[in-house]
Amino acid sequence: MADRATVSRLFDGTLAVLIGALGVAEIWVPFVSAAGEGSREVTTALVVLDSLALTFRRRWPLATALFVLFSWPVVFTITPLLVLFWGQFVPMIVAIFSVARYGRGREPWYGALAAAGTLLFFDLRVGVLQQPSEIVFHWTGFVLAWSLGWALRRMERRAKDSMQRAIEAEVGYAGRTAMAIGQERARIARELHDVVAHAISVMVVQAGAAEQVLDDDPEIARTALKTIRSTGTGALAEMRRMVTMLREDDHVGELAPQPGVAALPTLVEEARAGGLDVQLQIEGDQWSLPAGVDLATYRIIQEALTNVRRHAAASHVGVRLRYGEQNVEVEVRDDGRGAGDLTTSSGQGLIGMRERAALYGGRVETASGTGAGFTVTAILPVAPE
């Protein structure tokens, strides 16, 4: 900001010196544009003072315009002066432009009235300026200078207003996104709580069974202990993920396990009952997924199908679940109208999918053709159990 102000001051100072030098040269060379009879010394003094005043044209635009415009009529009423183009007309043009461009509040209009009064004085009192061509030239120059300054002022104001609206929209969007992320994380934390609670319930049951058969059947007890160790390891991993989630209430919910990929056929049938032609395809050698990944996979597919019903206006949806060696990949592709209102809606579907995938080190990608469907792809890295 300081650099810009410095550049502005240097520009105004250079402009003032240039106009002052041309005005003095116009008087003493003299240029053919100098007309009338009057004191060269007094005219020179006014040229220098007006040039100095122009250095303040941004800081005090109205005061500068009033001084430059009225100094000539006031001195003309006292003593004759030379009529100049560079030393008189050009400083007035710059002052009129500046008050229209930088004036605050009603200052541009006060500057316009002052310019009109100055022109009327010259039209009525200065003989060399009373020719029709001179009158048209001066009025046209003043009107164009003021109009240009006013137009630039309006353009700058509209640009600032647009920037402010863009900033407010961005801040609002960031706030809504943060709220959506918080809500999704809270929901994921509650679901992981159910997964962990169910795992602990299994561990308690297995521990009780091992205790009862420890003396009679050590092999069954050993199997139960292995189950406890495996289940406990998985529960500990889920707990580590859950501790970073903010829970907004103490609601625990049911201790039954959350749905997983085994429930996908039921999910697909529900979507078909809603009018969608959904085809489920499972590729690769199926192996048991950790409970959290199992739940995340199911929820991502569920949310993708929900978005298709709400936003895509699609008739056919393909759901593909592929088991890889070190990951599971989900793809939901529809034949609807593309992204449409999905990315601009207030829904939290994509945010929730990305949060779930990120929780396990995965990612969610989206792609949309021009009116040719929308594809959601999720990749969750996990080793087979």
Residue 292: inside a domain:
yes
**H/E element, 23:** helix 2-28
Residue 85: inside a domain:
yes
pLDDT digits (tens, 9 = 90+) for 365-374: 988 765 568 8
User: Phi and psi (nearest 5°) for 22?
Assistant: -65, -40
User: Which of 85, 107, 130 is the last residue in one of the domains?
Assistant: 130
CATH number reported for the structural domain that contains residue 323 in this entry: 3.30.565.10
Residue 40: inside a domain:
yes
Q: How far apart are CA 21 and CA 352, in angstroms?
A: 69
The pLDDT value given to residue 2: 52
Other beta carbons less than 10 A from residue 212's beta carbon: 13
Q: How high does pLDDT run on average in the chain?
A: 81
The pLDDT value given to residue 285: 83
Strands 363-368 and 374-381: antiparallel
**302, pLDDT greater than 70:** yes
User: Which of 87, 106, 130 is the last residue in one of the domains?
Assistant: 130
Name the residue range of residue 269's domain. Answer: 261-381
**Proportion of the chain above pLDDT 90, given as a percent:** 31
**Quick check: pTM over 0.85?**
no
Q: What angle do CA 46, 124, 87 make, to 5 degrees?
A: 25
DSSP-derived secondary structure for 331-343: EEEE-SSSSTTTT
Residue 115: inside a domain:
yes
pLDDT digits (tens, 9 = 90+) for 152-194: 988 988 887 777 777 677 777 777 777 777 777 777 777 766 6
pLDDT digits (tens, 9 = 90+) for 123-148: 888 888 888 888 999 999 999 999 99
Residue 286: inside a domain:
yes
Residue 77: inside a domain:
yes
pLDDT digits (tens, 9 = 90+) for 9-34: 899 899 999 999 999 999 999 898 88
The pLDDT value given to residue 256: 47
Q: Identify which of 257, 322, 258 has the alpha carbon closest to the alpha carbon of residue 286.
A: 322
Residue 338: inside a domain:
yes
Q: How far apart are CA 373 and CA 313, in angstroms?
A: 9
User: Which of 130, 154, 186 is the last residue in one of the domains?
Assistant: 130
How many domains would you assign to the chain? 2
Cα Rg of the chain, angstroms: 40
Residue 27: inside a domain:
yes
